[in-house]
Amino acid sequence: MTIKSLLPLLAATFVCGGSILVEARQPKTPTTVVKPKPKVTQPVQPQWKLYTAPDGRFTILMPGSPDRNTQSQKTYMGEIDLEIFVAQPPKQQVAYVVAYNDFPYSYGQITDPQTVLNNARDMALKTTKSNLISQRNIRSYNNHPGKEIEYINSGGKITKSRMYVAEGRLYQVMAITTKKQQKTLAKTITGYLNSFNVVLKKPNN
């Protein structure tokens, strides 16, 4: 399933409170018999590097340059722009995702951040038909409110997500993988989530 085909669903779920549905890429089952390798090799480790958002408002370590997708959606709050950044290392069943949407000024001013985060959690579980494994309240390094959740869907995909509300914007940082791959990538996923930083807007002169 391609990211492009998911954009309409992504836009709809973000508008309702902030959720994203991305399937970690599965290797295709070979149709021909191939010679077994003499030993099992570890997945190729991608080259991680610091990625800075085009608008400069977040930084994160990514396994290569992420694919970027943008979509605008008309809602009762006005037009919402959805930005999605996805990196999927080859030969690994994992997707590293950063997504955000800006709220209209009036909505961002009157809505409690915890309400936004709770709505985002509930919509993520509902949209992906998942069961919550764990959750905890967190803060960004510059003290923006956030929430970390982990959940599993019926197909066995596990998502670990950290969400933050900062300056009228909802950020979602996710690693989506399989149970098997999660065991081998646990430290990598934690490092990825820890590397996310919200960059404050510079005050107008």
| The pair of three-digit structure tokens given for residue 17, joined into one six-digit string | 């409170």
3-24+49-198 architecture in CATH? 3-Layer(aba) Sandwich (3.40)
Q: Residue 34 — pLDDT band, cuts 50, 70, 90? A: low
Distance CA 161, CA 166 (A): 16
Burial (CB count <10 Å: 0-12, 13-18, 19+), residue 143: exposed
pLDDT at 19 over 60: no
* pLDDT tens digits along 151-164: 999 899 999 999 99
**Residues β-bridged to residue 73:** 80
Give me the percent of the chain exceeding a pLDDT of 90: 50
Q: Closest Cα partner for 189 from 201, 197, 181?
A: 181
* pLDDT tens digits along 108-152: 566 789 988 998 899 889 989 999 999 999 999 899 999 999 999
* pLDDT tens digits along 185-202: 999 999 999 999 999 776
C-alpha distances in Å from residue 115, one per residue of 18, 34, 95, 122, 192: 11, 53, 27, 11, 26
pLDDT at 20 over 90: no
The alpha carbon of residue 91 and the mean position of all alpha carbons in its chain are separated, in whole angstroms, by 20
pLDDT at 110 (0 to 100)? 66
Burial (CB count <10 Å: 0-12, 13-18, 19+), residue 115: exposed
pLDDT at 112 (0 to 100)? 87
pLDDT at 38 over 50: no
pLDDT at 4 over 50: no
Q: Residue 72 — pLDDT band, cuts 50, 70, 90? A: confident
Average of per-residue pLDDT values in the chain: 79
Distance CA 3, CA 7 (A): 6
- Kind plus residue range of the DSSP H or E element containing 138: strand 130-139
pLDDT at 41 over 90: no
Task: Name the 3-class secondary structure at 132.
Answer: strand
C-alpha distances in Å from residue 23, one per residue of 78, 137, 150, 172: 29, 26, 15, 16
Give domain limits for the chain.
3-24+49-198
**Residues β-bridged to residue 87:** 96
Distance CA 35, CA 140 (A): 49
